[in-house]
Amino acid sequence: MKSFARSLMFVAALGLAARPLPLHAAVGARAPSFSLRPPTGVRGGLFRLSDHQGRRPVVILFWDTTCAPCLQEMQFYEQMYRRYAGRLMVVAVAMDNGQTIGNAPNRVRTLGLTFPVVWDENSSVKNQFQVPAAPPFSVWVDRNGTIVRERQGYSVSENQVIEGQLARLVAGQSVR
């Protein structure tokens, strides 16, 4: 009987180990903590996700300086950041390599971004969130630190829906 029980436990363990990992951070999970600095030439200091938990929701935008949809998305979120001043944090995490990150200061100035823009120089945050290779990719974290939405891509046609969901997020309501 003990042998049978051990065999069942072994088979169960194999089944659990064989399950594929999610492609990226899962909705409903706690957001991985991170701290990043802005790239050279971009104003700002160290951004810590933990500084916002319990205070306000956070939208994390993964982008790079060569991605046109990323730039459109950041313009839209700049408007939302200003609308919900003090009640919503937005942070743009640049996934650029060392050759293209030099474009960041110009992009930030051109877009008039006032929210924090930081650089994931060694891809540690990208890996923590298991971000797909191609940006844009956005993650919404509620004020308690739980991931409530993630989205690959961006389309201007979705702005109205996103605005409604952001209003719910800021109000502490479900966005699902």
pLDDT tens profile 100-152: 999 999 999 999 999 999 999 999 999 999 998 889 999 999 999 999 999 99
pLDDT value, residue 20: 39
Residue 1 belongs to a domain: no
Q: Quote the number of domains for the chain.
A: 1
pLDDT in tens, 43-95: 999 999 999 999 999 999 999 999 999 999 999 999 999 999 999 999 999 99
State which residues form the domain around 42: 25-170
Q: Report if residue 7 sits inside a domain.
A: no
pLDDT given at position 104: 97
User: How far apart, in whole angstroms, are the C-alpha atoms of residue 131 and residue 139?
Assistant: 10
Domain assignment present for 2:
no
What pLDDT, on the 0 to 100 scale, is given for residue 125? 95
Is 114 within the bounds of a domain?
Answer: yes
Residue corresponding to tokens 């743009």: 92
pTM: 0.85
Any domain includes 175: no
Half-sphere exposure of 96 (CA within 13 A, CB side): 22
Q: Which residue has the higher pLDDT, 8 or 149?
A: 149
pLDDT tens per residue, range 12-53: 343 433 333 444 468 999 999 999 999 999 999 999 999 999
CATH number at residue 119: 3.40.30.10
Q: Quick check: is 66 in a domain?
A: yes
Q: Is residue 59 part of a domain?
A: yes
The answer to the question of residue 9 being in a domain is: no
Beta bridge partners of 119: 94
